[in-house]
A and B are shown apart, each in its own frame.
Chain A
Amino acid sequence: MAETNGNVNKGRRAKPTQPLRRRRPADSGPPPEVPTEPQMPGTTGRYLVLIDADNVRKGVNALTQATGMSFASAADFEGGAIDAETLSTEGAIVFDELAVAVLDLNPDQVPSVSAAATEGSGILAVEPERVVYAIDEPTGLLLADSATTIPLEVGAPPDVLIPAPPMPAAQPPPPRASLPMDFLLGYREAVNHLVDRALAAAGVAAPGAGEVFLEALDQSSLTWGLQVTRVAESRATGRGVRVAVLDTGMDLGHPDFVGRSITSRSFIRFEAVQDLHGHGTHCVGTACGPKRPGQMPRYGIAYEAEIYAGKVLSNRGSGSDSGILAGINWAISQNCRVVSMSLGAPTVAGQGFSRIFESVARRALAAGTLIVAAAGNESQRPGLISPVSHPANCPSIMAVGAFDSALVVAAFSCGGLNPQGGQVDIAAPGVQVRSAWPRPVLYRTISGTSMATPHVAGIAALHAEANSDVRGGALGWLLLQSAKRVDLPTRDVGAGLAQAPE
Chain B
Amino acid sequence: MTVERVNIVIADAYLGRFEAVVKRCVKAGLEVDQALKDIGVVSGRIDAGNRQRLRRVRGVAAVETDRELHIAPPGSEKQ
Chain A contacts to B: CB under 8 angstroms: 248, 277-279, 282, 313, 316-322, 324-326, 328-329, 332-333, 342-345, 354-356, 359-360, 363-364, 367, 377, 390, 412, 446-448, 450-451
Given A320-B69, A329-B39, A364-B39, check contact A448 B78 (CB 8 Å).
yes
Residue from B37, B41, B64, B73 whose CB has the most chain A CB atoms within 10 Å: B41
Can you list 30 A-B contacts (CB < 8 A)? A248-B71, A279-B71, A279-B72, A279-B79, A313-B69, A313-B71, A317-B73, A320-B68, A321-B7, A321-B64, A321-B67, A321-B69, A322-B7, A326-B34, A326-B43, A329-B38, A332-B39, A333-B38, A345-B68, A345-B69, A345-B70, A355-B64, A356-B62, A377-B72, A377-B78, A446-B76, A447-B77, A447-B78, A448-B72, A450-B71
Q: Is the CB of B39 within 8 A of A320?
A: no
Taking CB as reference atom, which chain A residue is nearest B6? Answer: A322
In the bound assembly, the distance between CA atoms of A355 and B60 in angstroms comes to 12
Residues of A within 8 Å of B70, CB to CB, are 317-319, 345
Of residues 28 through 78 on chain B, the ones whose CB sits less than 8 Å from some CB of chain A are 33-34, 36-41, 43, 61-62, 64, 66-74, 76-78
Residues of A within 8 Å of B24, CB to CB, are none
In the bound assembly, the distance between CA atoms of A412 and B7 in angstroms comes to 30
Residue B9 at the chain A interface, CB threshold 8 Å: yes
Q: Is the CB of B67 within 8 A of A390?
A: yes
In the bound assembly, the distance between CA atoms of A363 and B14 in angstroms comes to 13
Residues of B within 8 Å of A359, CB to CB, are 9, 12, 39-40, 61-62
In the bound assembly, the distance between CA atoms of A328 and B61 in angstroms comes to 19
Contact pick for B64, options A277, A317, A318, A354, CB 8 Å: A354
In the bound assembly, the distance between CA atoms of A359 and B62 in angstroms comes to 10
In angstroms, how far is the closest chain B Cβ from the Cβ of A365?
11
Contact pick for A355, options B62, B73, B79, CB 8 Å: B62
Q: Is the CB of B69 within 8 A of A324?
A: yes
Q: Is the CB of A319 within 8 A of B68?
A: yes
